[in-house]
Structure 1
Amino acid sequence: MNESYVRGDQPRPDVYRVRVEGLLDTAAGSRMLRQLDAHLHLIRSGLVGTRHLLVDLSAAVSTPRGMRALPHIRHAAQSQQLTVHLIGAHRLAARLTPAERAVLRGLHNYPDMGAALRDLSPAPA
């Protein structure tokens, strides 16, 4: 039985969000990578003009193994010139180990989706 739900959506044309609700474990990390891989295929095919990837952890409960997916997500996204940002990771920080916090280092964190969308400049028309 899955204790998490992973979904992707596109709140605006230049932004793709992968959201985890529930337990961010190894299985959820793998589902996040599959969601991103499918979206990267659309980018490579020229079907979407995404510039930013938002990893939404605002409804997630972290595990050390689940956090291991983030460097892989960052690498895959950057291979297509996407910038990677987190949403809601500050909620998890107090419960993370130093190694888990190190995974988050270098990624900008927004408190919520609205703040991220306001701050990220849209693609030029």
Structure 2
Amino acid sequence: MIDEEQKAEQLTQLSNEIEKLIDRVADDVREQRGAEEERRASGFVIYLLRNTENAPFQTLLLKKVGIATNDIAQTPGFTALKDYCERLSLQARVEDAIRPSREFINPCLGIIVDGWP
């Protein structure tokens, strides 16, 4: 049985973590983009969402408490990030299939910001 209170707490924590990204996006995109003469191949930035122990949120653990990517995309924090990115002509999306390293067997949850050439 899904504990609605636990689900709500997790969504609030995720929303708060996502909202904190707003302060970093413009600088991170500028850095990733590079100078005009040295355009980098990747046109995106990935932010792994982390729990209180600073470990990446594993998608399977979130699914156990009934949280799907659509739930995260509807949080106030993600809405604020998405609106901010749109003002910069960027896009933000929730991705639940990120493997940050070989030590993580299960996919982790992240936010991808992209939309530049």
Measured against the shorter chain, the TM-score band is 0.3 to 0.5
Provide the TM-score with structure 1 as the length reference.
Answer: 0.35
- Bigger strand fraction: 1
- Give the structure, 1 or 2, with the largest relative contact order (CA under 8 Å, sep 6 or more): 2
Provide the TM-score with structure 2 as the length reference.
Answer: 0.36
- Bigger helix fraction: 2
| Bigger Rg over Cα | 2
